[in-house]
Amino acid sequence: MSVSVYSANYDENNFVEGNDSIAVRIMLDYTTIRYHENGLVTNDIETGATLVFAHSNVGFDTVFIHPATSKQSGADYKTLIVYHNQKGARFSDRRLEKLIDELCIYHLYTSVLIENNFLLRFRYMLLKLKSFRWAYFDGEKKFKFSSGIYIPLVSLIVSTIALIVAFIAL
């Protein structure tokens, strides 16, 4: 596993999410797949998932996980938010171990060479729920999610009640 420290200029680097970032990427060895078609040899290199510790200019610490990437994979995996802290507190060893574990889970799920099993899919769904929770706590996104979920749900309940009343009235 390699550790890379990226500069604050996020225009040049995809893994810088705030003012300062430290990225941990799974890079034991590149996975190279060769395709032989019509006399041409094409190499496809899969890079590992990346855990990014980002610090914003207002003091927020956010941890993202970027998926493993490959030309062979047609899946569009999203970047997950696995931790957010508004106090700028230090990361404990236990928290770091948990984040590394989540990085490994996301790497295994998004890699093209690993076959997904039930336990891996379940743990991935827990990561997605955790990411949704962190995104939901953002005030701007909270309104979008709540209006997109609750307004249709209330409409469904009201229309169901109206349907029941109509059947009773007949």
Lowest-confidence region among 60-64, 86-90, 93-97, 153-157 = 86-90
**What residues are paired with 53 via a beta bridge?**
22, 63
CA distances from 23 to 30, 109, 156 (A): 17, 19, 45
- Over its C-alpha atoms, the chain yields an Rg (Å, rounded) of 22
* CA 166 from centroid of its chain's CA atoms: 46
- Average pLDDT of 48-60? 78
pLDDT per residue over 108-164, tens digit each? Answer: 888 776 777 899 889 999 999 888 887 776 656 666 666 666 778 788 899 999 999
The maximal CA–CA distance of the chain, rounded, in angstroms, is 75
The DSSP secondary-structure symbol of 38 reads T
86 pLDDT above the threshold of 90: no
Non-local (6+) Cβ contacts of 64 within 8 A are 17, 51, 52, 54, 79, 80, 81, 82
- Report residue 38 CA to chain centroid gap: 37
Token readout for 14 is 């995809």
Mean per-residue pLDDT of the chain: 76
- Secondary structure of 34-48 in the HEC alphabet? EEEECCEEEEEEEEC
In this predicted model, what pLDDT tens digit does every residue of 10-33 receive, in sequence order? 455 555 555 566 777 766 555 666
